[in-house]
Structure 1
Amino acid sequence: MSQTSNHYSVIVVGGGQAGLSLSYYLKQAGIDHLVLEKNTVTHTWRTQRWDAFCLVTPNWQCALPGYPYRGDDPHGFMKKDEIIAYLDGFIEMVEAPVLEHAEVRRVSSTDGGGFTVSTSQGTFTADQIVVASGGYHTPIVPRMAERLPASIVQMQSSEYRNADALPEGAVLVVGSGQSGAQIAEDLHLAGRKVVLAVGEAPRCARFYRGRDVVDWLADMKYYDMPVDQHPLREGVRDNTNHYVTGRDGGRDIDLRRFASEGMELYGRLEDLQDSVLHFAPNLAANLDSADGVYNRINAGIDAFIEKNGIDTEGGGVYEPRWWPDRERTTLELQGSGIGSIVWCIGFTPDFSWLDAPVFNGRGYPAHRRGVTQFPGLYFLGLPWLHTWGSGRFSGIARDAEHIVKTICSTREASAVSVDALTA
């Protein structure tokens, strides 16, 4: 492919921590490239987090390439402003060649090899493409939301900021994954009446036997386990994250305790009919399942401690102190006092702009450690791309370095082929 002012060896789609990490290694390798960002770099961290947001993993796991956490609280949990400051330092260090406000509208392969990239700021070409835009693109909001009264304010988790920004009245939080559980806690601590539709998300302890559970799991090499060695294999990518919090120095999130303090818990929200909300009769099962995961993780730590003869404080099993007295499956909106709803049921990927035969029936790309079978096409920053940390600060460096090494190998092989043809 001929070289033009709009041609690059590599184009990276996405200017979050994944795209910037890749740029760090591409610069080290001396490979010309361009990072295309729809908004501004690390935009999501700045605009789609609530005011009290903080990391759920300890600061020592912030290990972006060439830029590890250097603060004085490695076992603490950075708050939103501190996360942004950390990212700002990384951005300044990398000095990535980024074109901001460049929405990628189409990526297609060319007959002669390589790719054409159409954006809101013009057309570019590249020998290789790395998609580093993450996997959380389109907020999931069920169609039943269309039938809710106009008087009820609705928002998705990425739009929530704080309790004071919501109208008076009770708040229905739908979903109990990381965002749902933490937003429900934020509202509860602010004194708001919360109705929580509890899903099937698992939970884990914050601290156990004298240490953060993350520290134990790191010693147990859990974060180094590749997806193809996980008991669920690629199925682990569909798992909901465990709910826990780093707020106020870190603690468990115990929905049963919240319920004993006045939070109203229901099972999974299923439908809305004639102003009546309908819930699945699975609240008890969901709470029991979450507690089961909590205790199994701790039991694994117990086994590790015993096997290695580690001298530490004793453990124990979580025993619930609150149970639903019955499964409530309906809630009449009129009279419930609910004035707002926060949807916390996740996102779906949207790679509709990428014209390449690499996707499964759910729109997720098939790859091995980010490398697809389509020549020159890679993915980075997806959950469990390779390990648990692939979509997080802790594991992105390892994945980015691997992809750049693969790109370098491809370029070397191509150069050898050209030399052989011209010899």
Structure 2
Amino acid sequence: MTAEKTDTLIVGAGQAGIAMSEHLTAMDIPHIVLERRRVAESWRSQRWDSLVANGPAWHDRFPNLEFDDVGPDTFPPKERMARYFEDYAGMIDAPIRTNVEVKRVSRCEGRPGFIVETSKGEIEAQRVVAATGPFQVPSYPQIVPEDAGFDQIHSSSYRNPDALADGAVLVVGGGASGCQIAEELRRAGREVYLSIGEHYRPPRSYRNRDYVWWLGVLGKWDEIKTTPKKHIAFAVSGYDGGRTVDFRRLGHAGITVLGMTVAYDDGVLQIADDLIENIKFGDEAYLDVLREADAYVERNGIDLPPEPEAWTIEPDPDCVKNPLHELDLAKANVKTIIWATGFKFDFSWLQVNAFHEDGTPFHKRGISAETGIYFLGLPELTNRASSFIYGCWYDAKYIATHIGVQRAYVAYEKA
């Protein structure tokens, strides 16, 4: 059977795949988008019930479509985000095929292009864009044995407090997911332990501007004037209308905040002696943003209201003053452990020479070491905005331009 042919095949119909399709369409480049489940599937099935976008609606969107039923400063709920991408795909008439899984991509022999083996047959493409995003395979350290007697789930499998077994809950991870889940569980009346490591903790807003705005005007999305930060937990969220993540506040609310979980032995967790240091590191990042924001306002003569109360650091709760260095899970009545520890890549389906020895993509701005293979939507693809909604749209435009240039080379014939 002759394989179907196309110029560019995009794997994934989330924000990255849809953005890629828009730019290729604008350039009249034939393409197909394959999605193994539904459009924006990760928003539907890898998120808990109460999740909202991490940025306000005016920012967490593509340039060519605004939310028509959500205020600009609202943090849209996950269902609305999924519908946004469905609407966007319809608006641009993206050639998306759902419920088609890509099983293997390999280079053609004796001719240019790639053979893409899918659950619905083969497709031959001159180029392939891996737009599967940063949330591929749940990742958590194998610290507590699976047979230790506790329910252990990744944050992507958490839905709501009622879905968990009765008893206390240990949440491991100090990023947006861990903080939101811990706070929701505490509000539901659960006893909660929250284990955090080093983290970046900016203000949710300051001087009547959301943090995403400050990221833009201070050049932090691009990190041209600053040293790129190593990959650590990013503690900012839109939960509860958008409030600054503050582990002291969580401690005062009854959550027992712990240092980093490092080991397990016979029912007892060993906790690193780093809680105070981790919180101090987060405070420094928070105060740095305030200083830079004030300097920006003064330097540019902008009329933004002062916010002196933002500089107030709450007193330490008892769990910070006297941090636990071990936690007997049975005595604490912990029945469930939620690992909010992020994801790892899985490009096992991409059988090409485009990876470092550790399996991470080998690329520059999404253009891989294997000619014709591209990556989109990954963290730090171009800058810190790359895995965010607005950032991947601009990265997609760059990649589409490169594809157009490569097509022109191939089409060239000497007169």
Indicate yes or no: 2:242 matched with 1:250: yes
Does structure 2 retain, via aligned residues, the 8 Å contact 1:131–1:378? yes
Indicate yes or no: 2:276 matched with 1:284: yes
Indicate yes or no: 2:99 matched with 1:101: yes
CA distance in structure 1 between the partners assigned to 2:112 and 2:135 by the alignment: 29
* Aligned counterparts, 1:229-240, within 5 A: 229=224, 231-233=226-228, 236=229, 238-240=230-232
1:125: which partner in 2?
Answer: 124
CA distance in structure 1 between the partners assigned to 2:227 and 2:359 by the alignment: 20
Indicate yes or no: 2:346 matched with 1:354: no
- CA pair 183-201 structure 1, distance change in 2 beyond 3 A: same
* Aligned counterparts, 1:61-210, within 5 A: 61-64=59-62, 66-71=64-69, 73-111=71-109, 112-150=111-149, 152-210=150-208
Q: What secondary structure, in the 3-state scheme, does the structure 1 residue paired with 2:302 have?
A: coil
Of 222, 238, 251, 1:259 maps to 251
Does structure 2 retain, via aligned residues, the 8 Å contact 1:10–1:127? yes
Does structure 2 retain, via aligned residues, the 8 Å contact 1:282–1:327? no
Does structure 1 retain, via aligned residues, the 8 Å contact 2:63–2:390? no
- CA pair 340-375 structure 1, distance change in 2 beyond 3 A: same
CA distance in structure 2 between the partners assigned to 1:241 and 1:93 by the alignment: 35
Does structure 2 retain, via aligned residues, the 8 Å contact 1:148–1:275? no
Does structure 1 retain, via aligned residues, the 8 Å contact 2:220–2:226? no
Deviation, structure 1 residue 148: 4.9
- CA pair 275-169 structure 1, distance change in 2 beyond 3 A: same
Q: Which amino acid aligns with 1:219?
A: V
- CA pair 147-246 structure 1, distance change in 2 beyond 3 A: closer
CA distance in structure 1 between the partners assigned to 2:338 and 2:127 by the alignment: 40
CA distance in structure 2 between the partners assigned to 1:221 and 1:330 by the alignment: 41
| Range moving further from structure 2, 392-401 or 140-149 | 140-149
Does structure 2 retain, via aligned residues, the 8 Å contact 1:295–1:318? no
Q: Which amino acid aligns with 1:320?
A: E
Deviation, structure 1 residue 244: 2.3
4+ residue runs over 4 A deviation: none
Q: Which amino acid aligns with 1:164?
A: D
Q: Which amino acid aligns with 1:393?
A: I
CA distance in structure 2 between the partners assigned to 1:81 and 1:134 by the alignment: 18
Q: What secondary structure, in the 3-state scheme, does the structure 1 residue paired with 2:152 have?
A: strand
Q: Which amino acid aligns with 2:243?
A: R
Q: What secondary structure, in the 3-state scheme, does the structure 1 residue paired with 2:390 have?
A: coil
Aligned length: 410
Where in structure 2 are there 5+ consecutive unaligned residues? none
CA distance in structure 1 between the partners assigned to 2:3 and 2:120 by the alignment: 14
Q: Which amino acid aligns with 2:137?
A: T
| Range moving further from structure 2, 87-96 or 184-193 | 87-96
The structure whose residues are more often helix, as a share, is 1
Q: Deviations over 1:194-233 (max 9, x none)?
A: 001111122111121232222233233433x2x6x36445
- CA pair 400-87 structure 1, distance change in 2 beyond 3 A: same
What is the RMSD computed on CA atoms of the aligned residues? 2.0
CA distance in structure 1 between the partners assigned to 2:215 and 2:61 by the alignment: 17
Where in structure 1 are there 5+ consecutive unaligned residues? none
Deviation, structure 1 residue 116: 1.1
Q: Which amino acid aligns with 1:397?
A: W
Does structure 1 retain, via aligned residues, the 8 Å contact 2:14–2:85? no
Does structure 2 retain, via aligned residues, the 8 Å contact 1:302–1:315? no
CA distance in structure 2 between the partners assigned to 1:313 and 1:409 by the alignment: 48
CA distance in structure 2 between the partners assigned to 1:395 and 1:69 by the alignment: 18
2:13: which partner in 1?
Answer: 15
Q: Deviations over 1:359-413 (max 9, x none)?
A: 2243221222111232111111112212332212212221111111111111111
Q: Which amino acid aligns with 1:395?
A: G
